[in-house]
Amino acid sequence: MMQSIVISLALCATICAAAQTRNTPIQAIAYVSGPVQADGSQVKGNVTFTQNDCGQNVHVRVQLEGLKEGKHGFHVHEKGDLSNGCASTGGHYNPDKVDHGGPDHEVRHVGDLGNLEVNSTGVIDITYTDKVISLTGNRGIIGRAVVVHELEDDLGLGDHVDSKKTGNAGGRIGCAVIGVNSDVDEWPCRDGGAGGLRSSLSILTVVVALFLARSV
């Protein structure tokens, strides 16, 4: 009888732990703007980041206008500091201290999001996923900055001295701080999640096993 009670309590605790570590989709947004260019154009719009669960790919939606036709480097930079415009956002977000690359390259900065390809209207509205950035954890981008560059990013494949550092993408024509855009009572993927659940399950398993062994 006592064994059944202990097992039932263990199962209940496991279910409760699972409920407490259930992850919540979160979203972040960056309201991009830039200086007025010589031709009177100005980059404006927003970039939305959505992550449906801890460890999943991030969905990126880019909605911008005021861009020149062609490709423009697009990155997450390390600092959410606009005190000196886009210049104060620092370099690419690169916590792994590796060479610059393309978004699909095995070696890349966390902030390497490739190029935005813009048509003759100067407007872009695209959605894609990135498997490296995150909205939480040690690769979290919230509080950092997105930057749109004047030129095409060569993805680290060019001959220029800056190719492996910045992709030689030229000046910064638009930027924004990435801010939280979700109503969450408790931040997901922090002090819990799958790792916490696995630990709880391991402890419960040991406790139940010891109790059953003593009862034999």
Question: What are the catalytic residues?
Answer: 75, 77, 92, 100, 109, 112, 149, 172
For the chain, the DSSP string reads -HHHHHHHHHHHHHHHHHHHT----EEEEEEEE-PPPTTS---EEEEEEEE-STTSPEEEEEEEESPPSEEEEEEEES----EEEEGGG-SB--TT------TTSSS--TTEEEEEEE-TTS-EEEEEEESS-BSSGGGB-TTSEEEEESS---TT-SSSTTTTTT-S---EEEEEE-EE----SS-TTSS-HHHHHHHHHHHHHHHHHHHHHHH-
Output the CA torsion sign for 24, 131, 73, 142: positive
Q: Which residues, 6+ apart, have CB-to-CB distance to 156 below 8 Å?
A: 99, 100, 101, 102, 105, 108, 163, 164, 167
